[in-house]
Every structure is written in C-alpha cells, then in structure tokens.
Structure 1
Amino acid sequence: MILEAVMLQVKEGSENDYEESFRKASSIISSMNGYISHELHRCMEAKGKYLLLVKWETLEDHTVGFRESTEYQEWKRLLHPYYDPFPTVEHFERVDIFRA
C-alpha cells in the first residue's frame, strides 16, 4: 500500500464550491482499480489550505491507472481550476517501526 499526500491551496473565496466539486469528484477516484480510500482535510490555521490523503494498492495504480485514464480528465475538469499554485503530489510507503 502507498499513501499519496497532496497539500492543496484553493483560490480565496472558492472554498465552498471546491468542497462541493470534490464531493462529486470523490466518486471518480473511488471507482478506480487499486483505490483503497481517501480523505480531504481542511486546515484550521490557513484559509483555503487542504490536505488530500489517498491510499492506493500500488504506485502504478495512481500514476498510470488513474492518471492515464479518461476518468482523470473529468477529475481535472472538476478540481484543477481551483488550485493556485498547482499542488505537488508525493507518495509514501510505510516504515515498519516494530520490526524486531
């Protein structure tokens, strides 16, 4: 399992519209192969700042399966106009800290 983490900055004044568009876009990402779960968090200290966390079975499920799909085009249409600046996407893997 990998964790996609994205810090998002939404254009000022469009937060409510963004959240509604994200609700619609959630059905797109959740239908993709390799998708496990996702969460959107609103920052309490900075207006318009969000954290998106998506769990995928493999890195390729996100970078190839989702990003190269026709469904991604609809995701982009719904969400990308809200971002300024455009976000950087990073991927993480769990570190086994309990290994003997």
Structure 2
Amino acid sequence: MIHEIAELTIQPGTHAAFEAAVAQAVPLFQRARGCVSMRLDRTVERPDTYRLIVGWQTLEDHTVHFRGSPDFQAWRGLVGGFFATAPQVEHIETAVMGFAA
C-alpha cells in the first residue's frame, strides 16, 4: 500500500469552511479506484497547515486513475480556493511497522 501525504497550507481564517469542504469531498475518495483510507490532520504548531493522508492500493491508483478522473476535478473545485500555496505531495511506503493504535 502507498500513502499519499499532501501538505496543504490554507488562507488564514478559513479553517471551518475548508474542513467542511474536505468533509464534503469524502465520498469522492471513498469511490475512487484503489482508495482504502483518507483523513485530514491539522498541524498544531502551524494551524493554517494540514496534512491530507490518503491510502492507495497502488501509486497509479492515485497518480493516474484518481488524478485523471472527474472526481479529482470536483475535489480541487471544493478545496482549491482555500490554498495559500500549492500543495506539496509525497508518496510513502511503510518500511517498519512498529505498532498501531
């Protein structure tokens, strides 16, 4: 499994509306090919910065299938106006699984 980690910096004062837009987008991810999980975390030290963490079965499920879909355009339509800077996206694989809650 691959995890997409996107650092999203939003415009100050838009937290509630941004989080509501992300919540509205959850079904877009739920129905995406190969998407197995999705969550949004807020950075404590930098409250205008979030991490979107999405689990994908394969890298291509994200980079080809989702990004090439109408649902990706809908996602960007819902949240793109909140971004203060362009999202920074990385893909990771677990190297060592210590434990999970």
TM over 0.5: yes
- Residue 6 of structure 1 deviates from its aligned partner by 1.0
Higher-Rg structure is: 1
Alignment correspondent of 1:12: 12
TM-score (normalizing by structure 2)? 0.91
Runs of 4+ in 1 over 6 A off after TM superposition: none
Give me the TM-score of the superposition, normalised by structure 1: 0.91
Cα distance in 2 for residues equivalent to 1:91 and 1:67 = 14
What percentage of residue pairs aligned between the two structures are identical? Answer: 35
Unaligned runs of 5+ residues in structure 1 are none
Aligned to 2:38: 38
**Structure 2: runs of 5 or more not aligned:** none
Write the distance in 1 (CA, Å) between the matches of 2:38 and 2:11.
22
C-alpha distance in structure 2 between counterparts of 1:15 and 1:87, whole Å? 16
1:16-95 equivalences under 5 Å are: 16-95=16-95
Superimposed CA distance per residue, residues 43-81 of structure 1 (whole angstroms, 9 cap, x where no aligned partner): 111121111111000000000110000111111100111
